[in-house]
Amino acid sequence: MALQESLEKNGNFLFRYRSFLPLIVVIAGIIVFISDIKSLRVPGNEVYTLIEIFALLISFIGVAIRIIAVGHTPANTSGRNTKQQLADEINTTGIYSTVRHPLYLGNFFMWAGSVILIANIWFFIVFVLVYWIYYERIMYAEEQFLRKKFGQPYIDWASKTPTFFPSYKNKVKSKYPFSIKKILKKEKNGIFAIFVLLFIFHNIRYSILSDKLSIENNWVLWCTVFSAVMYLVLKLLKKYTKLFSESGR
């Protein structure tokens, strides 16, 4: 099989199972984190609290990027589908006029924030390398799909729009108005996951240092509880009402 076909095949396979990558990163991160704590290689309480706040800020940069991208897109684009590539049209305006893969850029910052919680520079470097190798193949397969489906219009847009690092030289106002309903419907999972991971790493550290399995009653706990309540409310509203229904979005 030629390299081009191999990359596309691998990219489609990784696209289909990309939801498992965070699980692998989390499991590996927990192992490293526990080892570092037991070896006394984790910062003290005050420093680690600053690390947690910084990690949240990095993660929410990713959330903001995803919100900007998803909030301005039509139905059947920029989705969370995992079965196959899907696109009814090319997104070329708004944030998509500055970068071709804003969702993967947003995902990087969201995951990077969680990896920062591990407080291990070598693990972070490995994460960056794995993320790049993994998503480079997904981006390649996605672009092959779009090239075949949309032809020259896609090639023209791709030729002037960076793959992953944004450039505002050719920025165009978004074709679609911002939809808060679409954000509430689509992006609740990611926000909830950020606080769940913060809760997990915080209380692994707290339990090991206090020498007993326990949950610290502090801001991390209550932020996680609040995010869980909001997630459940939005999930139920989506399932049992038409509050988030919006034609073409």
Residue 216 included in any domain: no
Phi/psi of residue 129, nearest 5 degrees? -65, -45
Side chain identity at residue 189, one-letter code: N
Residue 52 included in any domain: yes
Residue 20 included in any domain: yes
Residue 239 included in any domain: no
Which range marks the domain in which residue 176 is found? 3-185
| Secondary structure (3-state) at 172 | strand
How many domains does the chain fold into? 1
Residue 130 included in any domain: yes
* Segment 175-191, tens digit of pLDDT: 889 999 999 988 999 99
Q: Which tokens is 34 given?
A: 């526990």
* Segment 77-118, tens digit of pLDDT: 655 555 556 566 788 899 999 999 999 999 999 999 999 999
Tokens 């090239």, residue located: 147
Q: How far apart are CA 233 and CA 21, in angstroms?
A: 27
* Segment 152-165, tens digit of pLDDT: 988 999 999 999 99
State the pLDDT at residue 79: 54
Strand-pairing partners, residue 94, are: 172
Binning the chain into helix, strand and coil, the percentages to the nearest 5 are 70, 0, 30
pLDDT at 248 over 70: no
State the pLDDT at residue 76: 63
Residue 248 included in any domain: no
* Segment 24-70, tens digit of pLDDT: 889 999 999 999 999 988 888 999 999 999 999 999 999 999 999 99
Residue 136 included in any domain: yes
Cα–Cα nearest to 15, from 88, 84, 87, 91: 84
Q: What is the CATH number of the domain that holds 100?
A: 1.20.120
Residue 172 included in any domain: yes
